[in-house]
Amino acid sequence: MSEQGFRYLNKAAPRTEDFRLLTGYGRYLDDIEIPGALHVCFVRSPHAHARIVSIDATEALSMSGVVAVVTGRELQQWTKPLRIAPPIEGLLAVETETMPVEIARFQGDPVACVVATDRYLAEDAAERVQVEFEPLSAVTDMWQALEPGAPQVDPMVRGNLVSHQTFAHGNPQDVAGTAFRVVEATFTQQRQTHVPIETRGCAAVWDAGRHHLTFHIGTQVPHPLRTQLADRLRLNEFQVTVISPDVGGSFGQKIALYREELTVAALARHLNRPVRWREDRLENLTAAANSREDFCRTRAAVDEHGRLLSLELEMREDFGAYCFFPANYLARVVAMILTGPYRVQDYSFDVKIALSNKCGTAPMRAPMSMTSWVMDGTIDAIARELKLDPVDVRRRNLIARDELPYRTPTGEVLADITPTETFEAVLKAVDYEGFRVRQREARTLGRHLGIGFCVVVEPTTYGSRFYKAAGIPGSGHEASWIRIEPSGVVNASVGLGPSGQGYESAMATAVAEGLGVDPTSVYIHLGHTDIAPYGMGSRGARSATAGGGALYLCAQQARRKVLAIAAGWLNVADDILRLNDARVERRNGEEWLDSGVALTDVAQRAYMDPTALPDGLTPGLEFHFAYDPPAMTYSNSTHACEIEFDADTGHIRIARYVIAEDCGTLLNPTVVEGQQHGAVAMGLSGALFEQVIYDETGQNLTGSLADYLIASATDLPNLEIIPMHTPNRTTAAGIKGMAEGGVMGALGALTNAVNDALSHFGAVADRHPLSPMFLHGLIRRKL
Amino acid sequence: MKPAVFSYHRPTTLADALTLLEEYQLDAKVIAGGQSLVPMMNMRFAQPAHLIDLNALPELSGVRRSSDMLEIGAMMRHHELATDPLVRACCPLLAEAAATIGHYAIRQRGTLGGSLAHADPAAQLPLIASTLDARIEVVGSDGSREMPAAEFLISVMTTALQPEEIIRHVRFPCKRPSEGHAFELFSRRHGDFAIASCAVSVVLAGGTFAHLRIGLGGVGDVPLVLDDLAALYAGRGADASAVAELAAHAAAAIEPHEHREISVGYRRDLVKTLTQRALVRAIRRASEDF
Amino acid sequence: MEKKAICLNVNGTRFDVTCESRKLLSDAIREDCRLTGTHVGCEHGVCGACTVLLDGRPTRSCLTYAVQAEGTQITTIEAVAKDNRLSPLQQALHECHGLQCGFCTPGIVMTFEAHLRDNPWPTEEQVRDVLSGNMCRCTGYQNIVRAILLAAERMGEDISHV
């Protein structure tokens, strides 16, 4: 039994989904055979901004295997446009056609769709679709986009300013006016993209007899997608089934219903033939979704000891040309949680979101990724300017245990988090004092070591009360059902959409724990909307808390009925019974003894002999439960990164990377470790290598994996993880969730380590990627 | 991304291959390893009407030593160049550089001839061929001709190959007794094309330079070989100050294009560092060999 | 449309395939041989997800045209486990949590089934070097490396018992 008395939770275990994935028998979208399916290929704008003057598909239509060519005009008739207009102050409404009719807004914008008997032929025909464009001026820089006279990206968004939000708590400017020092720092994060190894794709099958659409698509949100799809196609929700198969990664890219997928669905219905699409890598890198192009400036007022008195944030984000999500949605989180584990009440933010003629934005694993880099980078800037030790500055400003629960200036309540504990643990693990000695010695030999810290508070799970309080429509609940079969095995389901996080194993464990059976006797159904209950799906890091929580509570509900039936059977009170390993046990003093009744016996009675059930109990053992988690749940961690900087080449070698983490109750520690590795990897990869690059005319220069660089096995260190988990006192089973904090910590810890090394040269790296050329350039000027 | 339509030919003799090339000329492309060509074809940057596969030709394989030259067939795979005992013994600089090309799987297929014909300014094999003054034999229906690497490599992705010709073999000089060598490259990530690279071949006599060749890759349209240095530094002590001077000389000698991410200044500094590191290693090897 | 009739030997089985010369081997394996364990991630030879063995050598099937593969022995992921028993490498990946979404996994298994034959006692550095040709977006590679080293150790023990 673990500390909290769990039998199965908090226990490392290998995953149950591995066999098929290891042997090549996984079932990803392209593996699904659909006889007679047609294949599509999109014709895309080569211009960043252009009027679509005419589209002539005559030649294409005459080619071998081509069945149809459609444009935005046909789709206007078959579908509704997307309207994003949540009632949020400072956010402008936007409406997007299914495929542009008048104007293409970025290089890669789809303007026509070719349908053919195979993809090779579709690509041949796509080359022959004659599109006449009238190029227009494009704007590709978010600062220029907000200047008067800049080209308009969206006629509904004047001046390209799609969202502007401000906030103030207390009086940060006044405080800054009288403070000992005001430290300013800037942080520029580059445009990135998700790069799941499996690109987007879908397959639509229209049943003309039943007027029903079956839509196969890898998605994180099966039910919300189905609701949107039905609405946009003007179908009833019972006319659409969404089935998500095995998904080769998503990281936030496979949430929105994009235009290509909607086009495929509409085509299947219109042509009355199955239609499928596989996005190729060029499309995925240039036309799926981008993320993270952000700028932050902080002004921190401090006393002579580096204590934070007030903080002001100015933030700008480039949202691209199209909004598939409310434009304020991603940057808002950064602004709201910026202060994180640090004590400060006088705080303000000013966040502007601009449109530009580039690919639209979708949240990418840790959409608030730069938060901790900005906050801990600000702390380090304070230390630098006041010539204080960055560890001391943190110790002075970190919220102490006895200050919890702590209400942040934006009204978030921090509770059940352990930032100081994880910070001290990491300091000890890296032997901080020892490092400084080594650093000094190394400098005498012309070697430049650096150490960086980042204290992360990760919001993982948003409950419905959060959305309500923020004035955002939407729900934070998750739904589950459990059916105990006559044989005693368990079928269960939850509304999540997996993309590699091991839900089949982890969620089975949640059921096992709540019910009292071994996890191997539980099977979790996922991704099929005829089967799964209506939940909000997977996003952020909500799956364990909301999904695991829903299943755990549902399983407890199931256990209560099982024990009530057993109590009636055994003629005892149900409070002396428990279910353990699918057997009913009764308490005898301090011991538990087998009662002779197994779960399968109870199940048989429930299904086959219901008149024998106690009064008031209905037949069968099927349960449904919807769980709305608390308004906000957090996990936390501290990251420490040790690097060596080669001043001759600008190269960074990561010598050591340590994380102390508190993720609450863990459904499966093995899965959690994998998630931490993956999150840190994505953060380090982003900080070092990745960048979507557009030139001044809006041409995307990073359309292949040889140009858009992702970290490989030789670029990443082995992570040392110190577990320091403490339960959350208000969530189901004390679960906190995790999976994005690693990105946040990596960006901060690595950058702070680099700046620690660069301090010798009086240089500061304030932007990503930390390329060798950039870093070398910084010190070259100082040499 | 699917390629455009093409006709595929798989000749089984060199003569047949050359006949096909003679017939189709610029409408044809030969495929050896395919690791550079196929991505371009799949993205439709290259759309040859005819693809002539060289993988079945026996005449292009093998490695043999002939007096003080190593003759290597054009179809020799990078992996083989890196691991073949004869190549490692006679031409260790070539083996060392080949081991750094791309990734393990790429090296199983990519070929010596393919890399030279592709002539990427940042690639390893054109640099080594230039530095060692290798002889490249090309063959067409009319006959064959041999030329030094410097003559073969004309500009970015441009060589002296005529449309009807292919590379048959490349002859590298075997290393001299007591020759030291080193290859250094710098890239963003392991396996990427070099931002800059340096190949050094040196022989010492009593601690002074008796032979010296420095080649630089990724610094211009073609590899730059600093072949005037041998004469300039003949008889000079191979010490730290000479190394520093040579590195500075190399940095000053390059004329790279301005690149969006990579400034000329950065490339010069990088060349200086890589040349320094390569010289130190090569000199140490040359000394150990005694 | 000119189609060729070719004969592919995949996992010891003969497949008679009729296709255009331009059809990628990755597509032919998946569609014509109906072996969908080989995955397509980029079609320009960078991600490594499509890696199969051609005459025992790791090869990116997206950089090979199906017509080129006639006369070779192609081995795909489906041939690695025998009678539902995972190979030591597959078993180690499972135990070490060396896969998450699984999309890159077959390419990695094929690369290392071959490499561990070439190099039965690799160092971590060598493993990372070879692995650098396979992209994974989920795991950060750490557990994959651990699994490969574990598999090598176990296979080494097996050999020493022979």
Residue A88 pLDDT: 85
* CATH class (in words) of the domain with range C88-161: mainly alpha
The domain tally of chain A equals 3
* CATH number at B63-173: 3.30.465.10
Could you tell me which of B114, B140, B137 has the C-alpha nearest to residue B125? B114
Taken in order B30, B32, B36, B38, is the CA torsion positive or negative?
Answer: positive
Put simply, the answer to whether B2 touches A120 (Cβ < 8 Å) is yes
Put simply, the answer to whether C67 touches B39 (Cβ < 8 Å) is no
- Residue C129 C-beta-side C-alpha neighbours within 13 Å: 12
Put simply, the answer to whether A197 touches C135 (Cβ < 8 Å) is yes
CB neighbours of residue B247 within 10 Å: 22
User: CATH code at A54?
Assistant: 3.90.1170.50
Residue A574 pLDDT: 87
Put simply, the answer to whether C128 touches A713 (Cβ < 8 Å) is yes
For residue B290, pLDDT over 60 is answered with no
The residue from A627, A650, A677 where one domain ends is A627
Task: Place A243 in a pLDDT band, splitting at 50, 70 and 90.
Answer: very high
Tell me if A96 is assigned to some domain. Answer: yes
Domain boundaries, chain C: 3-79, 88-161
Question: What is the chain C residue with the closest CA to A710?
Answer: C135
Put simply, the answer to whether A28 touches C39 (Cβ < 8 Å) is yes
* CATH number at B179-288: 3.30.390.50
If you average pLDDT over residues A282-297, what whole number do you get? 98
Is CATH 3.40.50.300 the right assignment for the domain spanning B7-53? no
Q: Are residues A643 and A772 in the same domain?
A: yes
A767 touches chain B (CB under 8 A): no
**B261 closest CB neighbour out of A280, A704, A773:** A773
Cα Rg of chain A, angstroms: 28
**C65 closest CB neighbour out of B8, B106, B190:** B8
CA distance B270 to chain C (A): 23
CA distance A359 to chain B (A): 20
d(CA A63, CA A81): 31
Q: Are residues A95 and A224 in the same domain?
A: yes
The 3 state secondary structure assigned to chain B is: CCCCCCEEECCCCHHHHHHHHHHHHHHEEEECCCCCHHHHHHCCCCCCCEEEECCCCHHHCCEEEECCEEEEECCCEHHHHHHCHHHHHHCHHHHHHHCCCCCHHHHHHCEHHHHHHHCCCCCHHHHHHHHCCCEEEEEECCEEEEEEHHHHEEECCEECCCCCCEEEEEEEECCCCCEEEEEEEECCCCCCCCCEEEEEEEEEECCEEEEEEEEEECCCCCCEEECCHHHHHCCCECCHHHHHHHHHHHHHHCCCCCCCCCCHHHHHHHHHHHHHHHHHHHHHHHHHCC
CA distance C154 to chain B (A): 23
Q: Are residues A572 and A586 in the same domain?
A: yes
Put simply, the answer to whether C77 touches A716 (Cβ < 8 Å) is no
Tell me if A722 is assigned to some domain. Answer: yes
For residue C160, pLDDT over 70 is answered with no
Reported as a single tens digit per residue, the pLDDT across B184-240 is 999 999 999 999 999 999 999 999 999 999 999 999 999 999 988 888 999 999 999
Q: In chain B, positions 235-264, which contact chain A (CB-CB < 8 Å)?
A: 260-263
Percent of chain A residues topping a pLDDT of 70: 99
For residue A1, pLDDT over 50 is answered with no
Put simply, the answer to whether B8 touches C43 (Cβ < 8 Å) is no
Residues of chain B contacting residue A649, judged by C-beta atoms under 8 Å apart: 186, 270, 273
Put simply, the answer to whether B186 touches A648 (Cβ < 8 Å) is no
Task: Place A2 in a pLDDT band, splitting at 50, 70 and 90.
Answer: very low
Reported as a single tens digit per residue, the pLDDT across A164-196 is 999 999 999 999 999 999 999 999 999 999 999
Quick one: tokens of B230? Answer: 């041998």
Tell me if A758 is assigned to some domain. Answer: yes
Residues of chain B contacting residue C1, judged by C-beta atoms under 8 Å apart: 5
Torsions phi, psi for C7 (to 5 deg): -120, 115
A281 touches chain B (CB under 8 A): yes
The reply to whether omega before A405 is within 30° of 0 (cis) is yes
Structural domain containing residue A645: 363-461+633-780
Tell me if A165 is assigned to some domain. Answer: no
Question: What is the chain C residue with the closest CA to B100?
Answer: C129
Average pLDDT over all residues of chain A: 97
Q: Among A447-461, B124-138, B252-266, which stretch is predicted with the lowest mean pLDDT?
A: B252-266
CA distance A313 to chain C (A): 32
Q: Are residues A716 and A594 in the same domain?
A: no
Residue A337 pLDDT: 95
Put simply, the answer to whether B191 touches A648 (Cβ < 8 Å) is no
ipTM above 0.85, yes or no: yes
**C133 closest CB neighbour out of B10, B43, B106:** B106
Q: Are residues A611 and A638 in the same domain?
A: no
Tell me if A656 is assigned to some domain. Answer: yes
| Predicted TM-score of the model (pTM) | 0.97
Could you tell me which of C82, C80, C96, C85 has the C-alpha nearest to residue C149? C96
Which CATH fold topology does C3-79 show?
Ubiquitin-like (UB roll) (3.10.20)
Chain B neighbours (≥3 Cβ pairs under 8 A) are A, C
Strands (E), A284-397: 290-291, 294-302, 308-318, 346-354
Quick one: tokens of A215? Answer: 């839509």
Residues of chain A contacting residue C20, judged by C-beta atoms under 8 Å apart: 120
**B34 closest CB neighbour out of C20, C64, C111:** C64
Put simply, the answer to whether C102 touches A248 (Cβ < 8 Å) is yes
Q: Are residues A546 and A657 in the same domain?
A: no
Residues of chain A contacting residue B260, judged by C-beta atoms under 8 Å apart: 693, 701
Domain boundaries, chain B: 7-53, 63-173, 179-288
Instruction: Yes or no: say if A306 and A382 are a contact pair by the CB < 8 Å rule.
Output: yes
Size of interface B-C (CB pairs under 8 A): 83
Put simply, the answer to whether A777 touches B263 (Cβ < 8 Å) is yes
